[in-house]
Homo-oligomer: A and B are copies of this chain.
Amino acid sequence: MTKPPVCVLGLGLIGGSIMRAATEAGREVFGYNRSADGVLAARGDGFDATEHIDKALKRAAQAHALIVLAVPAPALPLVLEQVRDIAPDCALTDVTSVKAAVLDEVKSVGLLANFVGGHPMAGTAQSGWAAGDARLFVGAPWVLSVDDHVDPQIWGMVMDLALDCGGVIVPARSDEHDAAAAAISHLPHLLAEALAATAADVPLAFALGAGSFRDGTRVAATAPELVRAMCEANADQLVPTLDQAIEMLQKARESLATDKSVAHLVEQGHAARTRFDSFRRTEILTVVVGQDGWRDELAAAGRAGGVIRSALRVLGNPE
């Protein structure tokens, strides 16, 4: 079975990198970008890009392309309506760092059956076409949703694209992805902000700040808009995560004030970090996409550290 063409909507850092990487892997790729500058830059580098979304979507519909939603989050609702109007039968994935909101948007335009959410976890410090890189995803985790609704054939298509880009696929349910992102990405940002802001009020703190302070506040240097965007989009998961961290700190505070001891928190934290250091990725090899219970099997394997490095068999596809 030949792989479908890829239609990338939005040619910024992530979309532009997917266009380059999939092209290098021998795929037919074309794309749309809202700004003419981005389109000209992509064309100048020899890629097939247009600033007319309707043209891109008509071509996608005719070619049964896999559409990659890589526009900024605020543009998603409008773009999804255009997809529904022009290319309602195309397979669909995205690259957004919070999955629940996108899932809601896709559901509300009636395209859920075509959709498999994705989150390539690769650098975001720069932006725009020029920042893209065909090798951006090589070895990086690329989360693929295995929610109850996902179709095996479409899942297989998105799996192929992620692997063609060099990604290491972590299968996960959207809600579990978002809960994990709250704990490992959004909470660290808020803790770093609180650390920097607390120290700023202490005379001499900056004069003595070194090692652990510099490390602990590094992500507070991220542009506030970016931090806000990701934290606020994941508020539903971040609030309970933040509650848990605050409760731990509050208990440590009580025990420090009363018994001069932070033993409990310190031992808990050290044990957790030790487990993280010894956490090993294993390769998922035997699951057949589409067989009974495949979604649950993949979600469980992902939780346990399982990743997909080469294409799994998809039921109904030739081997």
Residues of A within 8 A of B (CB): 121, 141, 143, 170, 172, 176-177, 179-185, 187-210, 212-213, 215-224, 227-228, 231-232, 235, 238-239, 241-246, 248-250, 252-253, 256-257, 260-263, 265-277, 279, 281, 302-305
Contact = CB atoms under 8 A, between A and B. Distances in A.
Nearest to A178: B204
10 contacts: A179-B202, A181-B208, A183-B199, A184-B210, A192-B273, A195-B245, A217-B273, A231-B256, A242-B249, A242-B252
Copies in the complex: 2
Nearest to A233: B260
Nearest to A222: B270
A176 B203 contact: yes
Contacts of A198: 183, 187, 241, 244-245, 248
Given A215-B219, A224-B270, A227-B262, A195 B204 contact: no
Nearest 8 pairs of A and B residues by beta carbon: A193-B269, A200-B272, A188-B216, A196-B272, A220-B273, A184-B213, A180-B204, A183-B199
B272 A220 contact: yes
Contacts of A189: 212, 266
Query: By CB atoms of chain B within 10 A, which of A190, A222, A275, A305 has the most?
Result: A190
B210 A183 contact: no
A227 to B, nearest CB: 5
Which label, helix, strand, loop or mixed, suits the secondary structure of the A interface?
Answer: helix
Contact of A203 (B180, B182, B215, B243): B180
Nearest to A234: B256
A195 B188 contact: yes
A142 to B, nearest CB: 11
A142 B317 CA distance: 68
A240 to B, nearest CB: 10
Contacts of A269: 192-197, 217, 220
A174 to B, nearest CB: 11
A267 B254 CA distance: 29
B206 A275 contact: yes
A221 B277 contact: yes
Contacts of A209: 184, 276, 279
A207 B282 CA distance: 10
Contacts of A141: 207-208, 210
